[in-house]
Amino acid sequence: MSKKVISFHYLLTDASGKTLDSSAGGEPLTFLEGVGQIIPGLEAELHKMKAGEKKHVVVKAKDGYGEKDPGNVVEVPLEKMPTPNIKAGDRFRAGQDSHSPVVTVVKVTKTHVTLDGNHPLAGMDLTFEVEITEVRDATADELTHGHAHGPGGHHH
> What is the binding site for Zn ion (CB under 5 A)?
145
Q: Is the Cβ of residue 55 or residue 145 nearer to Zn ion in the bound state?
A: 145
Residue 80 and residue 47 in contact, taking contact as beta carbons nearer than 8 Å: no
The secondary structure element, H or E, covering residue 43 is helix 40-46
Q: Is the Cβ of residue 68 or residue 145 nearer to Zn ion in the bound state?
A: 145
Closest approach of Cβ 147 to Zn ion, in Å? 6
Closest approach of Cβ 144 to Zn ion, in Å? 8
Q: Is the Cβ of residue 18 or residue 156 nearer to Zn ion in the bound state?
A: 156
Closest approach of Cβ 153 to Zn ion, in Å? 8
Residue 150 and residue 28 in contact, taking contact as beta carbons nearer than 8 Å: no
DSSP labels, 47-88? TT--TT-EEEEEE-GGGTT----GGGEEEEEGGGSS-S---T
Q: Dihedrals φ, ψ of 71, to 5°? A: -70, -15
> Which residues are paired to 126 by β-bridges?
59
* Distance separating alpha carbons of residues 102 and 3, to the nearest angstrom: 31
Closest approach of Cβ 98 to Zn ion, in Å? 17
Closest approach of Cβ 143 to Zn ion, in Å? 10
3-class DSSP assignment, residue 97: coil
Q: Is the Cβ of residue 16 or residue 144 nearer to Zn ion in the bound state?
A: 144
Q: Is the Cβ of residue 136 or residue 145 nearer to Zn ion in the bound state?
A: 145
* Distance separating alpha carbons of residues 149 and 36, to the nearest angstrom: 15
